[in-house]
Structure 1
Amino acid sequence: MAVAGCGTHTARVVDRNGATVATADVLTETEWTRTLDAVSTARVTIQPDGDCCNRLGRVSTWRHRLMIFRDEQYVWDGPVTGISWSLGQVELRAQDVLAWLDNRVPHASRTFTNVDLAEIAAWLIEDGYAPDDPGHTVRVVDPAGVTGSRTYTIGVGQTGDHLRQLAEAGIDFTAIGSTILLLPETHMANVGRLSDVDLPEGLEVAEDGASLVTRWVVAGSEDSGAIGSFGGVDPYYGLHERYVEMSEITDNTSAAEAAKARQRVSRVVPVFVDTQQVTISPDAAIDVPSLVPGWTLDVTSASTCRQVSQRLKITGVRVQETGGDEDTPGTESVQVQVAASGAEAA
């Protein structure tokens, strides 16, 4: 049975051509995250030794990418976006491979009619990388199960924004290493369980009432005049309506499908469980590299007045390690954020 353990990290800086620029085996600080439907970040502080200092002096943002390994297992990858050189150390800050899509625009005009959103998302990603691919793969875990019609115009809008807007209509995405995963919002595959014994310092359970919407109205492009809605008065919460414009939508059916997808995840007040700065016990029955946003954990906790015992979707992961010194051993902290919404309740 896999357990969380106490991981040790190393890092590698890689050039656009694939060559290794520097290998960092002495890290005084490491932090990497994973995020659902967003770009994740990482940071390492390197204590250079030997020729490593000269090599790190040549590192440049966007030219080079940071790869992080936990117990020699590849867990994170993305372009270096910030560098700080100081006496005896170098700090590298990076974003995952999705960050390139925030610096790309559509390179072709394309219209989709009644197509699964996973197919549209895959096209957006491949089109975004097409003129200059830093090295990526796309894995469609399962179709979104939501179809729609969309129009994209060459040179109009950032590709990353288009992808996030699509995620608001019934599909999830996340980056693991250099692979971009596409999966339905209703994906419920499980990667482990957590209970109070695995969180000895406690956790926080919160409700976000601002996220409650029982009826959505979605308007498409101005030229199409498309509009659709889904939902209504909830017998428990009453009526909470929201209007949103999604200019890439081209027909009423797609607008209604987008409204339905939004209502599915907002029809109950979301419950969030956050381990905050608490270290998950090294004995917890989870495999840290398998903590992927979009997958789920079974969480059971009676440590707060709001008891929780259900399958919750992973929305964020943060892993930190300090290298320690001669007097103080290094420590690793694994934090996970999970949430329940209408999709998980279903």
Structure 2
Amino acid sequence: MGAVRRLGCPDEYHVRVVEYLGAGSTGKNSAVSSKTVTTLTGLVSVEWGRRLEDTSEATVTLAQSRVSAACCRALSRFENWFWDLLIFRDSELVWRGPILDLEETGQSIVIHARDLSAWLERRSWVAPYGAALPSNPDLAAVAHYNLIGAFVADPELPTQTAIWTRPNIPAITSYTPSGIKLADTDLRLSEDSNAREDLDETAKFGLDWTTHVDKILISGEASTSTPAAAWLSADDFAVPLQVAMQGSTAGTAILVYGGASGDVPALYWRGLDRPPVFLEPLRVNSTTMSDADKTEIGKSVVLRNFPPARVVRVPDGAPLTPAAPIPMAGLVCGRRINVSVDSRCWPASAGYRLSQVAVKWSQAGEQVGVTFAPLVQPR
């Protein structure tokens, strides 16, 4: 394996088309080593991405005049879904997924693919993998085993067994325990739903999922208490960042209704030497809570809203510079990344979840853009 290339600085891209023979893996039974249909020639541009809780896409454009005869013959046998597109950045596999469309314009050939999670919309959970789980399992384990079940052979289609039950099927997905127990949710999966709908429904209870290269990763949502996987500064972005204090959401006082005193509110007011700036009233779902406890709840709400936090604003799709201290492999959607701005009147830092990566490559070079989502509060 060669040296890790900085963002924006690969030596080359190359793209391979392979027959789909099973789930992705990097081990001995890796689908990466499955039968190669062709290595694409005449590359003009490559666009690919990664997305949080969504399916990413890739587009490869070839100059028809530079496509080799062997590559052209191979593409003439094109099979939707059953051919995979593999994108390599130097020697590093960075994206994989089934090819859906192929277009020829006379001057170019354009190949469109979606990542591995596209299969989930075309598969259903058909095997009782949940039976192998312990009592009251972690919710991430439930999602993991259900995905494995969606990729094994259909019992009514025994001819598929050789394809779908390869030893590397479990490597199609991995999970990190979320700390959320199944019994603490009211998860209900429909009998007629597809695997994507099942995964999205499970994720509503606090899971993140993303496709990273050739594997679907499942974990708990990154929160304000999650350690950062990387730190970026304003100098790591090719566009300006903003720092703001959002007073429109600030407040110094709140009325809390409910509890033992019913409609008699408890008041928390921070800064008694200043006029109160009221937040929206809060009602607790309890008939026994004391006024003291209601006041503590109100205090915690006000302290989160005043003084307003300094917010670092990163534009969607913000391009990173080669100076960014993070490799392509480290751009995993769902992970926490902290962003700091030091050279301003208001030095500030903020944590985010990486929600999208968008990469464009051509002979002019590579551009890597990122989009962030807010962190959630700890459960």
Instruction: Give 1:196's aligned residue.
Output: 234
TM-score (norm 2): 0.66
- Cα RMSD for the two superposed structures: 3.6
Question: Structure 1 residues 10, 152: CA separation in 2 closer, same or farther (over 3 Å shift)?
Answer: same
Paired with 1:234 and 1:98, the residues of 2 have a C-alpha distance of 48
Residue equivalent to 1:36:
52
> What residue is the counterpart of 1:115 in the other structure?
137
Contact 2:312 2:350 in 1 (8 A): no
Q: What's the secondary structure of 1:126's corresponding residue?
A: helix
Assess, with a 3 A threshold, how the Cα gap between structure 1 residues 129 and 274 changes in structure 2: closer, same or farther: farther
Answer whether contact 1:273 1:337 (CA < 8 A) is retained. no
In 1, are the aligned partners of 2:312 and 2:339 still within 8 Å (CA)?
no
Is 1:338 aligned with 2:338? no
For 2:144, the aligned partner's letter is A
1:1-346 counterparts in 2 under 5 A?
Answer: 3-7=6-10, 8-17=12-21, 18-47=34-63, 48-108=67-127, 114-131=136-153, 133=164, 136=169, 137-149=171-183, 150-152=187-189, 154=191, 156-186=192-222, 188=226, 190-203=228-241, 238=280, 273-276=313-316, 278-301=318-341, 308-323=348-363, 330-343=364-377
Contact 2:228 2:337 in 1 (8 A): yes
Query: 3-state SS of the aligned residue for 2:238?
Result: coil
Supply the distance in 1 between the matched residues of 2:193 and 2:312 (Cα, whole angstroms).
32
Task: Note closer, same or farther for the CA distance 1:165–1:302 as it changes in structure 2 (3 Å cut).
Answer: farther
Decide whether the 8 Å contact of 2:127 with 2:152 is kept in 1. Answer: no
Using structure 1 for the length normalisation, give the TM-score. Answer: 0.72
SS at 2:367 equivalent: strand
Counterpart contact for 1:102–1:158, Cα < 8 Å:
yes
In structure 2, the residue matched to 1:255 is none
Greater per-residue helix proportion? 2
- Shift in Å, 1:314: 0.9
The count of residues paired between Structure 1 and Structure 2 equals: 289
Q: Kindly indicate whether the alpha-carbon contact (under 8 Å) linking 2:61 and 2:111 is maintained by their aligned counterparts in 1.
A: yes
Instruction: Write the distance in 1 (CA, Å) between the matches of 2:89 and 2:353.
Output: 23
Deviations 1:307-335 (A, max 9, x none): 75123221111111123xxxxxx121100
| Alpha carbons of structure 1 residues 338 and 304: separation in structure 2 relative to 1, 3 Å | farther
Change (3 A) 1:293 1:277: closer
Say if 1:52 and 1:204 are closer, same or farther in 2 by CA, change over 3 A: farther
CA drift at 1:27: 1.8
Distance 1:140 1:54, change over 3 A: closer
Aligned-residue offset at 1:175? 1.1
Structure with max Cα Rg: 2
- Report the 3-state secondary structure (helix = DSSP H, G, I; strand = E; otherwise coil) of the residue aligned with 1:114: coil
Query: Helix, strand or coil for the counterpart of 1:115?
Result: coil
Unaligned runs of at least 5 residues, structure 2: 22-33, 154-159, 249-266, 270-277, 284-303
Name which of structure 1's ranges 71-80 and 181-190 shifts more when overlaid on structure 2: 181-190
